[in-house]
Structure 1
Amino acid sequence: MDYEIFDLGDVALQSGETLPGAFLAYKTYGTLNEKRDNVIVYPTAFGDQHVQNEWLIGSGLALDPQRYFIIVPNLLGNGLSSSPSNTPAPFDRANFPQVTIYDNVQFQHRLVTEKFGIEKIALVVGWSMGGIQAFQWGTSYPGMVERIAPFAGVAKTWPHTFVVLDGMKAALLAAVGFDSSRLGELTSADMRAVGRAYAGWGVSQAFYREGLYRGMGFESLADFTAGVWEDSFMKMDPHNVLAMLWTGQHADISANPAYNGDFDKALGSIQALACIMPGSTDLFCTADDNVHEAKRIPHAALHPIESIWGHFAGRGINGADNQLIDDNLKRLLALRPND
């Protein structure tokens, strides 16, 4: 096991339910300094685990373990932290309670403060649903977080994003005839259709038109669809996916008692220096959504990733996109919070 477990105990969720024996899986990189101020929090995205974040961590990179103490907490529902697949009855599989982004960030805050005694965070960074968590950190703990850097992530699930996720959910529910009483019958094989549904959203039209999948070792469109989208989704537990889809569909940094749905107020509360990096051709966490959000954050700069890799410009696959993200993070970390 290349990660650690932080026991949360019995936790009260935003839904009003209590999840007994909850836990957060996490991995750290580097060493916490004496002042405990060299901290970077880097939450995982939908379907990802900490290993998928490691492309952005390394010597000479912005997230350099020789300089920073990097904490990668795993999203609840991803199979490592508390999830439908690893929770005992009566909250196992289809009975797992609804968990929000706000819940996740509250639990991560407990990890950071209770386990490590940290009071200041230099940066919260994340891709996709990890980006939503970065925004949530900024608005939930404005006095603690000095910088945020969401890339290919939005501060709430806008209606179009909701519809995209709903299409993925429908592809899975179709396997049991949309009968909620049959959710226990779902298997990972049923995830094939979810991968197909997502294939049109993960990268852009130009990516497909120019056949960039050939540079990834796939000779045909059919090979790419099966070898990337189908294969990656069929490795996931369907009940974990349903849990994460619910979390994603209901993500909103203002959906909590502090802001009561006032999205602009929540954005305005973020005191961190914000470097927001939308993918210029992202089809469902769009650059336009981030433009709207950045205008309402006091210290935000928008730095689009000009790329035809769509949402996956932030996935750590394309070298030019990776370099741009790393360069932006280096510039952000070089700024002082009062600049």
Structure 2
Amino acid sequence: MDYEIFELGDVRLQQGATLSDAKLAFKTYGELNADKSNAIVYPTWYSGQHYDNEWLIGEGMALDPAKYFVIIPNMLGNGLSSSPSNTPAPHDRASFPRVTMYDNVRFQHRLVTERFGIERLELVTGWSMGAGQTYQWAVSFPDMVKRILPFCGSAKTSRHNIVFLEGVKAALTADAAYAGGRYDRQPDIGIRAMSRVYAGWGFSQQFYRETIYERDPLGFASLEDFLVSFWEGLFLKRDANNLLAMLWTWQNADVGRTPGFRGVEDALAAIRMPAIVMPAQQDLYFPPEDNEWEVKHMPRAELRVIPGAWGHFAGGGLNPEDTRFIDDALKELLRLKV
């Protein structure tokens, strides 16, 4: 096991349920310095686990473990932290309670403060649902977070994004083997179907038109090879109930539901730390227009669009050019005196 477990105990969730013996899986990179001033939080994304974030950490990069103490907390529902697949009855499988972004960040805050005694974070950053958690950190703990850089994500899931996810969910649950979440074996037909629904959204029209999936760094032999090897391969190693639990968290993401705030505009206005908000130019479900609206309500935010044809996966660490673009922005933000 290449990660650690932070025992949360019995936790009351925002939706009202109590999750018993909750656990938060995490991994750290680098060393916490003496005055505990070099910490960065970098949450995971939909279906991702900590190792899926490692492409943005390395020597000479903004998230250099020789300089920073990087904490990657695994989102609840991802199979490592408390999830439908690893929680005992009565909250196992389809009975796993609803978890919000607010819950995830509240538990991550406990990890950061109780386990490590950290009072200030140099940066919070993340891709996709990790970006949603980044926004939530800024709203929930504004005095603790010095800077944020959410990329390819949003502060509130849009209606169009919700509809996209309804298609993903319908494809998965249509498999008779799903059995209302009480399956004895993974509903592979449903998972393969949801993978193909997702494939049309994760990359842009230009990406497919120009057959970029056949070039380096991907190098798949054909479109079918890409659909099977990349997309089905991505989700077949995940548990169906876990995917659905995280999907609910994603669909219901909204920093405006943070206690003490009167909607998303009010919450965004409270994000007063420096921020670079980075959508991808051709992201089909987190389009730059949505982030442009958000940035208008954030006092110290800049919109910086990741150019190119990779769509949402511009933030997935697959394309070296996009990785450099994100890394350069992170370096710039970390150099900023706060």
TM-score bin, normalised by smaller chain: over 0.9
For the 8 Å contact 2:44–2:73, the answer to whether it is kept is yes
Distance 2:260 2:87 in 1: 30
Matched letter for residue 280 of structure 1: Q
Matched letter for residue 41 of structure 1: V
Deviation track 1:183-236 (CA, whole Å, cap 9, x = no partner) reads 212615131111011000000000000000101121211111111111111111
Distance 2:41 2:10 in 1: 24
Quote the sequence identity (%): 56
Matched letter for residue 198 of structure 1: Y
* Residue number in structure 1 paired with 2:206: 206
* Residue number in structure 1 paired with 2:80: 80
* Residue number in structure 1 paired with 2:248: 246
* Residue 307 of structure 1 pairs with residue 286 of structure 2: no
Matched letter for residue 267 of structure 1: L
Distance 1:176 1:268 in 2: 46
* Residue number in structure 1 paired with 2:161: 161
For the 8 Å contact 2:204–2:284, the answer to whether it is kept is yes
Deviation track 1:43-68 (CA, whole Å, cap 9, x = no partner) reads 00000000000000011000000100
* Residue 270 of structure 1 pairs with residue 268 of structure 2: no
Mapping for residues 138-157 of structure 1, pairs under 5 Å = 138-157=138-157
* Residue number in structure 2 paired with 1:280: 281
Matched letter for residue 311 of structure 1: H
Matched letter for residue 95 of structure 2: N
Deviation track 1:281-303 (CA, whole Å, cap 9, x = no partner) reads 00001110000001111110111
Deviation track 1:82-109 (CA, whole Å, cap 9, x = no partner) reads 0000000111111100000000000000
* Residue number in structure 2 paired with 1:223: 225
Runs of 4+ residues over 4 Å off in structure 1: none
The worse-fitting range, judged by mean Cα deviation, of 104-113 and 30-39 is 30-39
Distance 2:119 2:105 in 1: 15
Matched letter for residue 83 of structure 1: S
Distance 1:80 1:36 in 2: 26
Distance 1:164 1:294 in 2: 24
Matched letter for residue 33 of structure 2: N
Q: Please list every run of 5 or more consecutive structure 2 residues that lacks an aligned counterpart in the other structure.
A: none
Distance 1:158 1:328 in 2: 25
How far 1:176 sits from its partner (Å)?
3.2
Distance 1:272 1:105 in 2: 17
Distance 1:76 1:300 in 2: 28
How far 1:256 sits from its partner (Å)?
2.5
* Residue 334 of structure 1 pairs with residue 335 of structure 2: yes
Deviation track 1:121-147 (CA, whole Å, cap 9, x = no partner) reads 010000000000000000111111000
Instruction: Count how many residue pairs are aligned between Structure 1 and Structure 2.
Output: 334
Deviation track 1:24-60 (CA, whole Å, cap 9, x = no partner) reads 0000001111111111000000000000000000110
Distance 1:26 1:307 in 2: 32
Q: What's the TM-score, normalizing by structure 2?
A: 0.97
Matched letter for residue 165 of structure 1: L
* Residue 293 of structure 1 pairs with residue 294 of structure 2: yes
Distance 2:131 2:194 in 1: 22
Distance 2:187 2:77 in 1: 15
Q: What's the TM-score, normalizing by structure 1?
A: 0.97
Distance 2:109 2:192 in 1: 35
How far 1:175 sits from its partner (Å)?
1.1
Distance 1:42 1:257 in 2: 23
Distance 2:162 2:253 in 1: 9
| SS class of match (2:284) | coil
* Residue 322 of structure 1 pairs with residue 327 of structure 2: no
Distance 1:217 1:291 in 2: 34
| SS class of match (1:254) | helix
Mapping for residues 125-204 of structure 1, pairs under 5 Å = 125-176=125-176, 182-185=180-183, 187-189=186-188, 190-204=190-204
Matched letter for residue 37 of structure 1: S
* Residue number in structure 1 paired with 2:120: 120
For the 8 Å contact 2:140–2:258, the answer to whether it is kept is no
The worse-fitting range, judged by mean Cα deviation, of 84-93 and 167-176 is 167-176
For the 8 Å contact 2:94–2:180, the answer to whether it is kept is no
For the 8 Å contact 1:188–1:236, the answer to whether it is kept is no
Matched letter for residue 272 of structure 1: M
| SS class of match (2:257) | coil
For the 8 Å contact 1:154–1:289, the answer to whether it is kept is yes
